[in-house]
């Protein structure tokens, strides 16, 4: 559960835009209008702020999120654009298109927003209020649709409040959104560009801009692969042993809460949250997995994580990491 918060309703004027940007810079949650749907925005460079997005939405899994930038130059500092990505950015930004590209070496988008992947999803929205907030915030802003998990995407501030009042810090009300469906998502990761999600830009228009057909990949599609192998999920090289009481010899240890007594702390260990705080644990999860995995252990043993609050999403991700492959 998130702490109860007083949700302010900000108007889409200079003062409201400045207040929204200030809240975002302070790691708070603000629902922002975009031309597609209202997004639940947080500082994409702050794992803790991003963890609070999942908590507010009660999202049962950590999908990678879209990061929003005020212009093409800002987006190009976060990702590496190949020729098709550049052509698409030029044709449709600002607008309802998201590009998934390799993260740049200077990328400041945190690992939780990227779900631990080496790629980033970037979007330059066209809504003038969104752009003004992004400009003033001066950092990438992660924003999935501002609804509770499993509910429909909000196209008005009232929809946002119906789902999230008391769970977020503010909603910036700019009236109904124009497009009403989420952005189209195209992955440009070398090879043929792939359409990951149909959305606000019609496929034919995307294909015309790159002069080739898009490979169609269904979002969360039923690819005949172990979940841990799905391209959109980071999988450690190490085997993962869940619900472990304590590490066995030679295992790396991913702890949560107080460390087990009576066993020596292994050389390779990370505690997601010694205090047992699930939001802190979520914020650390992907960086911790990667840090342990980079040292090449055969197995990472993981302490039990409770199933309430963000624990459900943490356990979902860990089960995927542990899936046979």
Size of the site for Mg ion (CB under 5 A): 1
Size of the site for ligand TXA (CB under 6 A): 27
**249 conformational bin, left if phi > 0, alpha if psi -120 to 50, beta if neither:** beta
Neighbours of 54 (CB within 10 A): 28
In terms of C-beta density within 10 A (0-12 exposed, 13-18 middle, 19 or more buried), how is residue 178 classed? middle
Q: CB of 191: closest distance to ligand TXA in angstroms?
A: 14
64 binds ligand TXA (CB under 6 A): yes
Cα separations in angstroms, 243 against 260, 300, 304, 318: 12, 11, 4, 10
183 binds, among Mg ion, ligand TXA, none (CB under 5 to 8 A by kind): ligand TXA
233 binds, among ligand TXA, Mg ion, none (CB under 5 to 8 A by kind): none
186 binds ligand TXA (CB under 6 A): no
- For residue 160, give the 3-state DSSP assignment: helix
Q: CB of 144: closest distance to Mg ion in angstroms?
A: 5
119 binds, among ligand TXA, Mg ion, none (CB under 5 to 8 A by kind): ligand TXA
Question: 3-state SS string over 167-184?
Answer: CCCEEEECCCCCCCCCCE
**Is the CB of residue 173 less than 8 Å from the CB of residue 154?**
no
Q: CB of 255: closest distance to ligand TXA in angstroms?
A: 28
122-151 binders of Mg ion (CB under 5 A):
145
Residue whose Cβ sits closest to ligand TXA: 39
Q: CB of 59: closest distance to ligand TXA in angstroms?
A: 9
34 binds, among Mg ion, ligand TXA, none (CB under 5 to 8 A by kind): ligand TXA
As a whole number of angstroms, the distance between CA 80 and CA 276 comes to: 37
63 binds, among Mg ion, ligand TXA, none (CB under 5 to 8 A by kind): ligand TXA
Its sign, for the CA torsion 196, 202, 203, 207, is negative
In terms of C-beta density within 10 A (0-12 exposed, 13-18 middle, 19 or more buried), how is residue 324 classed? exposed
65-104 binders of ligand TXA (CB under 6 A):
65-66, 98, 100
Which of 59, 127, 131, 197 forms a contact with ligand TXA (CB under 6 A)? 197
Q: CB of 295: closest distance to ligand TXA in angstroms?
A: 24
Question: For residue 94, which of 201, 208, 219, 211 has the smallest C-alpha distance?
Answer: 201
**Beta bridge mates, 16:** none
Q: Where are the beta strands (DSSP E) in the chain?
A: 8-11, 30-32, 39-43, 66-68, 97-102, 119-123, 141-142, 170-173, 184-187, 194-197, 215-216, 239-241, 252-255, 269-271, 299-302
Which of 36, 126, 271, 315 forms a contact with ligand TXA (CB under 6 A)? 36
Residue placing its CB nearer to Mg ion in the complex, 36 or 145: 145
70 binds, among ligand TXA, Mg ion, none (CB under 5 to 8 A by kind): none
185 binds, among Mg ion, ligand TXA, none (CB under 5 to 8 A by kind): ligand TXA
144 binds ligand TXA (CB under 6 A): yes
Residue placing its CB nearer to ligand TXA in the complex, 7 or 271: 7
- β-pairing, 119-123 vs 194-197, is unpaired
Q: CB of 306: closest distance to ligand TXA in angstroms?
A: 25
Question: For residue 144, which of 106, 180, 182 has the smallest C-alpha distance?
Answer: 182
Residues that bind ligand TXA (CB under 6 A): 34, 36-37, 39, 63-66, 98, 100, 114, 117, 119-121, 123, 143-145, 182-183, 185, 187, 196-197, 219, 232
């Amino acid at each position: 559960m998130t702490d109860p918060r007083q949700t302010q309703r900000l108007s889409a004027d200079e003062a409201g835009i400045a207040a929204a940007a200030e809240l975002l810079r302070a790691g708070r949650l603000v629902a922002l209008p975009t031309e597609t749907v209202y997004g639940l925005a947080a500082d994409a460079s702050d794992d803790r702020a991003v963890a609070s997005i999942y908590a507010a939405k009660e999202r049962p899994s950590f999908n990678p999120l879209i990061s929003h930038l005020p212009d093409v130059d800002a987006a190009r500092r976060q990702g590496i654009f190949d020729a098709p990505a550049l052509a698409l950015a030029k044709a449709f930004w600002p607008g309802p298109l998201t590009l998934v590209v390799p993260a740049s070496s200077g990328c400041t988008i945190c690992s939780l927003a990227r779900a631990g992947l080496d790629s980033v999803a970037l979007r330059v929205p066209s809504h003038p209020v969104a752009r003004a907030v992004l400009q003033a915030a001066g950092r990438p802003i992660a924003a999935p649709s501002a609804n509770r998990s499993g509910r429909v995407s909000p196209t008005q501030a009232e929809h946002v409040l119906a789902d999230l009042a008391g769970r977020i810090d503010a909603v910036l009300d700019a009236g109904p959104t124009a497009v009403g469906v989420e952005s189209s998502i195209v992955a440009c990761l070398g090879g043929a560009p792939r359409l990951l999600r149909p959305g606000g830009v019609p496929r034919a228009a995307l294909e015309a801009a790159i002069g080739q057909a898009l490979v169609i990949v269904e979002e969360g599609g039923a690819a005949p692969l172990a979940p841990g192998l799905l391209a959109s999920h980071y999988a450690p090289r190490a085997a993962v042993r869940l619900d472990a009481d304590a590490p066995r010899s030679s295992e790396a240890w991913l702890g949560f809460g107080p460390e087990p007594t009576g066993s020596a702390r292994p050389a390779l260990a990370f505690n997601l949250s010694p205090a047992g705080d699930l939001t802190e644990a979520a914020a650390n999860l992907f960086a911790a997995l990667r840090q342990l995995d980079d040292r090449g252990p055969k197995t990472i043993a993981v302490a039990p994580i409770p199933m309430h609050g963000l624990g459900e999403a943490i356990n979902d991700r860990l089960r995927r990491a542990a899936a046979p492959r």
